[in-house]
Structure formats: C-alpha cells, structure tokens
Amino acid sequence: MLNIILLGPPGAGKGTQAARLQAKRGMIQLSTGDMLREAVAAGTPVGLEAKTVMERGELVSDAIVSALIGERLDAAADKGAIFDGFPRTRAQAEALDALLTERGRSLDHVIELAVDEDELVRRIVGRYSCAQCGEGYHDQFKQPRVPGTCDKCGSHEFKRRKDDNEDTVRTRMAEYRAKTAPILPLYEARGIVSRVDGMAPIDQVTDAIDAVLASG
Ligand code: AP5
Ligand code: MG
Ligand code: ZN
C-alpha cells in the first residue's frame, strides 16, 4: 500500500497525474484543493472560511486542511494514498507524519514535478473542466475530441476555476516558493524524493512516475 506525495507549484500537473494513478492503481487521490472547492460549493463553515483566501491565491489554515486529510485518510484505510496539494507548509508536513504514524502507515515517495513558471501560467489560464464529471481540458493542449462535448460523459457544460487568472496564479506561485518548496529538504533527508520533468508531455510524466513507483 503505497503512500505518495505529488509536489509541485500550481499547474505542475499534480491533479492530472493523481487522477491517472487513481484510475490505474486503485489508489485514492487526496486533493486538499478539491476538498476545499467542494466545501466552498456546499457552503459549509470550512467553505465559508476558505472562499476568499482561495480567491486571493493564499493558503488556507494548516488546521483546516490537516483535518480534511485526516477524515479522508480514514475513509481510504485499505488503499494507497496520493497526496495532491498537501502538505504545503512545514506544519502540514508534520501533521501528515503524525496522521500516517497514527494509522500505521508511512510515506514511500515524494515526487517533485519540476517545471517552468511562465509555462505554468499559460497552462493554468487555459485550463477548464467538465461541470458534470470533472474531466480536465485545456484551450491549447487538450480540447474534447468532439468540440463542446465531454469525452468521458458527453456533457456540454464546462467550468473554470475562479483562481485561474494570471494575478492569482502569480500569488499562488509566490506562496509555493515561500512556504512549500522549503519542505523538500525535509524529505530529501529521508531519501524519498524523486524529481520528474513536469514539462514533458503528460504521458511521459506518467511513465516517469510509474518508473519511480516500480523502483519500490
Ligand atoms: P489546488 O487546487 O491544490 O491548486 P494548485 O496547487 O494551485 O494546483 P493546480 O490544481 O492549479 O495545478 P495541478 O498541479 O493540479 O495541475 P493540473 O493537473 O490541474 O489549491 C487551490 C487553492 O486551495 C490554493 O491556492 C489554496 O488557497 C488552497 N489550498 C489547497 N491545498 C491547500 C493546503 N494544503 N494548504 C493550504 N491551502 C490549500 O494541470 C494544469 C493544466 O495543465 C491542466 O489544464 C492540464 O491539462 C495541463 N497539463 C498538466 N500536465 C501537463 C503536461 N505535462 N503538459 C501540458 N499540459 C499539462
Ligand atoms: Mg490540482
Ligand atoms: Zn464529463
């Protein structure tokens, strides 16, 4: 039962690759960004608190996201976990260690998606998804096979994230550099970090991740 972290700035491809791992390996994708967006859409107390913070591109509190991860880990007790967008701070990294240890689990790999920031802005600003099933698309890189129709579920409704504009993306990048990149050395010291070229085509990134996971 593998437990892995996909680490990288906004737009690095964490969600894209996590969805593939989930489909292929029966692992569970644990995306704090997705959980928070669900909470915002449902208007829960967590959602109300997170909404404006997310629209600014800043980080939601460590306590909130750590609690969300804890709940979902319990629901995924017998499956490998893919942490997507968590941890993002040193406090979250420590919280994750504790959550895993309490459940008799441990981290196997931290996969760093290495990318170029300007290219990422282009990726993010062009991104959209199916309003029905969540399948991801991109204005330039991945249009539906039949224009205006979701490849997966046939829906004609699509949506864009509110924080996917250039200004907010720059703030999200700055948050990554200041608070998230500094947790890498923690995992490097444990010898569990693998660096993958996140600028390669999507299939090649998937192959590179498979190779890391096959290494044990
Ligand atoms: P979150 O939802 O995690 O967003 P993010 O980290 O900013 O990352 P993205 O989801 O934008 O990018 P991704 O790496 O998943 O890339 P994707 O696969 O979509 O967080 C949003 C907000 O929630 C945060 O700003 C914060 O406010 C809050 N939050 C979340 N977690 C938190 C935490 N732990 N603590 C505190 N606050 C938290 O790919 C992007 C696009 O590129 C897609 O269109 C895709 O099709 C395309 N693409 C992907 N790979 C490739 C490739 N290899 N080549 C070409 N195109 C590609
Ligand atoms: Mg994502
Ligand atoms: Zn769909």
Is the distance from the beta carbon of residue 138 to the nearest atom of ligand 1 less than 6 Å?
yes
pTM of the model: 0.94
Pull the structure tokens for residue 61: 């509190």
Is the distance from the beta carbon of residue 12 to the nearest atom of ligand 1 less than 6 Å?
yes
Q: Residue 42's CB: how many other CB atoms inside 10 A?
A: 9
Residue with structure tokens 């249009």? 143
Active site members: 14, 88, 127, 161, 172
> 13 near 84, Cβ under 8 Å?
no
Is the distance from the beta carbon of residue 93 to the nearest atom of ligand 1 less than 6 Å?
no
Q: Name 30's bridge partners.
A: 83
> 129 near 137, Cβ under 8 Å?
yes
Q: Name 111's bridge partners.
A: 6, 194
> Which ligand is the nearest neighbour of the Cα of 123?
1
For residue range 28-76, what is the model confidence (pLDDT) as tens digits?
A: 999 999 999 999 999 999 999 999 999 999 999 999 999 999 999 988 8
For residue range 163-187, what is the model confidence (pLDDT) as tens digits?
A: 999 999 999 999 999 999 999 999 9
